[in-house]
Amino acid sequence: MKCLVAILVCVVLAEGIVKIPLRKHKSMRQALREKGIELPYQDPALKYQPYVLAGSANMYINNYADTTYYGAISIGTPPQSFEVLFDTGSSNLWVDSVYCTTQACSESMPFTSFYLPYGAGSLYGVFGYDTVNVGGIVITNQEIGLSTNEPGQNFVVAQFDGILGLAYPSLAAGGETPVMDNMISLNLLNADIFAFYLSSGEQQGSELSFGGVDTNMYQGQIYWTPVTAETYWQIGVQGFQINGQETGWCSQGCQSIVDTGTSMLTAPSQFMASIMQAIGAQESQNGAYMVDCSQINNLPTLSFVLSGVTFPLPPSAYIIQQNQNGYEYCSVGITPTYLPSQNGQPLWIFGDVFLRVYYSVFDRANNRVGFATAA
């Protein structure tokens, strides 16, 4: 154990890196669908808009309707466990305090409030402080957003208790210092990086590591590309190919946000019709794009060019196969966004559809993102 008594912080470090198992659960959308409730689709990029108001912070909960990978952290003394989404697309830590019994959930502790609108209701909360343990890395006096109401059925069926944001501190609502930034400033990591391995299909074994990469989780080398805006983990895209043919859509530059809090691959809306035409997908009544499951192997490979390296996505990566009531159906894991990037260039979002294929490394020391073929 390494203790920094002067600043009241203790940490238990594993050899080299700290590994946090991520469990794959049923998504909020799927759980509601099984109850006969169809959650409307929302532009995934809405979560990137500046929703911070005086004394409040707004986040859009149904942007997380399709997320499925969660891991455990603990809060308080004695520790209470919470299943959270580790989200590279936001910066705050918040948990549902309805069942919270730690000191942080006391109403005497908040300094500001936040408001989280989502599909069929709203979530309100306050900020507090308590000890947070992430895989044995212990931070005392971590600022935490604490929801103060039960926001209805959508959240009841969710498999997670909160969100731990891993984006840059410039995005942190309410002036909160993100967990990763406390780890960095207190020198709690061997290296100021974290990395994700997300399993495919029904397989478990997903993992988040802090302080280094897990060489068992990828093959070949890591290819690096620089962060273009130190807000989200935003990178430049120089090309987009369909079956190896360059489209030219990013010839003047595109941007992409690498976001573990978005399940799909999100494409600029102006490209969606062409992509779906190339795939041969048909739009369903609820806004999803569907394909014939028997034709998956005949669909095109979609590729991105990042810093001169091509990253292909085969159809097995972007087609989602599901069974419901004995019926197999196949949807396209690509959704549109109608919002451009901050510099006006077309915006993509590399969500879980991309991140299941490529092990992703987030390097705060050098402000870069690395990708390697997942093991």
> Which among 130, 192, 214, 259 is annotated as catalytic?
259
**pLDDT for 62 beyond 60:** no
Q: How confident is the model at residue 27 (pLDDT cuts 50, 70, 90)?
A: low
CA-based nearest residue to 171, from 88, 227, 85: 88
Q: Coil, helix or strand for 99?
A: coil
Domain-located, residue 5: no
- pLDDT greater at residue 174 or residue 84: 84
Residue 217 is encoded by which pair of tokens?
A: 């989780």
Domain-located, residue 12: no
Domain-located, residue 7: no
pLDDT for the residue numbered 98: 57
Q: Coil, helix or strand for 181?
A: helix
Domain-located, residue 8: no
289 and 239 within one domain = yes
pLDDT (average), residues 183-192: 95
248 and 162 within one domain = no
Angle (CA) 191-197-201 rounded to 5° is 175
- pLDDT greater at residue 352 or residue 126: 352
Range of the domain at 142: 18-193
- The number of domains in the chain is 2
Q: How confident is the model at residue 303 (pLDDT cuts 50, 70, 90)?
A: very high
Number of Cβ within 10 Å of residue 137's Cβ equals: 25
**pLDDT for 47 beyond 70:** no
Task: Please compute, for residue 6, the number of CA atoms within 13 A of its CA located in the half-sphere on the CB side.
Answer: 1
pLDDT for the residue numbered 163: 85
pLDDT (average), residues 77-100: 83
Residue-wise pLDDT for 193-219, tens only, equals 999 999 986 677 899 999 999 999 999
> Which among 87, 96, 161, 192 is annotated as catalytic?
87
**CA-to-CA distance for 266 and 10, rounded, in angstroms?**
40
Q: How confident is the model at residue 158 (pLDDT cuts 50, 70, 90)?
A: low
CA-based nearest residue to 346, from 337, 359, 355: 337
**CA-to-CA distance for 225 and 326, rounded, in angstroms?**
43
pLDDT for the residue numbered 33: 55
- pLDDT greater at residue 179 or residue 147: 179
Residue 304: CB partners within 8 Å, gap ≥ 6? 237, 239, 240, 241, 256, 310, 311, 313, 348
The reply to whether 214 belongs to the active site is no
290 and 159 within one domain = no
Sign of the C-alpha dihedral computed for residues 34, 36, 41 and 42 taken in this order: negative
- Residue 6: phi and psi, rounded to 5, are -60, -30
pLDDT for the residue numbered 29: 55
CB 247 within 8 A of CB 240: yes
Single-letter amino acid code for the residue at 84: V
Cβ burial of 330 (10 Å; 0-12, 13-18, 19+) is buried
CA-based nearest residue to 306, from 236, 229, 364: 236
Q: How confident is the model at residue 50 (pLDDT cuts 50, 70, 90)?
A: very low
pLDDT for the residue numbered 108: 44
Domain-located, residue 201: no
Q: Which of 116-130, 172-186, 250-264 is least confident?
A: 116-130
**pLDDT for 230 beyond 60:** yes
Q: How confident is the model at residue 35 (pLDDT cuts 50, 70, 90)?
A: low
141 and 26 within one domain = yes
* Cα-based distances in Å from 27 to 84, 110, 124: 13, 31, 22
pLDDT (average), residues 247-273: 94
**pLDDT for 102 beyond 90:** no
369 and 228 within one domain = yes
CATH code of the domain covering residue 367: 2.40.70.10
320 and 224 within one domain = yes
The mean of the pLDDT values for the chain is: 81
pLDDT for the residue numbered 198: 94
- pLDDT greater at residue 97 or residue 118: 97
Cβ burial of 170 (10 Å; 0-12, 13-18, 19+) is exposed
The reply to whether 259 belongs to the active site is yes
218 and 158 within one domain = no
